[in-house]
Amino acid sequence: MPCDSVIINRVDMPKMHPDLLTRGLKALGVTNVRTAGATVYFTLDGSDYVLQNGRLSGRDGQSAEEVGRAADRLKTAYSHQVVQATAARNGWTLKQTGTNSYAVTKR
């Protein structure tokens, strides 16, 4: 990536289901999770983050790259929870076939 590029990291928090977000955070192994309305504070791999108004920000002076990696991990963990919740709701059998892939079977 060119050095004059700007990376803006945005996770669309208002559309995230709060319970699935909490499960996704737990699956990532985050610590110190606190919520205040739609704002979520947490620690991931020793770095503090805040998810507020749809934006993930570092609180420890993380680079845009570090925040981007954290956002990607958060979105992936959230997506896993969405897949699992949807399968459970519909009575489907879910088998993880890869890091980010599943096989779904209707019962």
List pLDDT tens digits, range 57-98. Answer: 888 888 888 988 998 899 999 999 999 999 999 999 989 898
- What's the pTM value of the predicted model, to 2 decimals? 0.80
What is the pLDDT, as a whole number, of residue 60?
81
What is the pLDDT, as a whole number, of residue 18?
83
What is the pLDDT, as a whole number, of residue 3?
57
Q: Hey, where are the domains in the chain?
A: 13-106
Q: Is 49 a residue whose pLDDT tops 60?
A: yes
What is the pLDDT, as a whole number, of residue 19?
87
104: helix, coil or strand? strand
Which residues have a Cβ under 8 Å from the Cβ of 93 and sit 6 or more positions away?
87, 104, 105, 106, 107
User: In percent, how much of the chain has pLDDT > 90?
Assistant: 44
Report angle CA 94, 33, 22 to the nearest 5 degrees: 25
1 versus 56: the higher-pLDDT residue is: 56
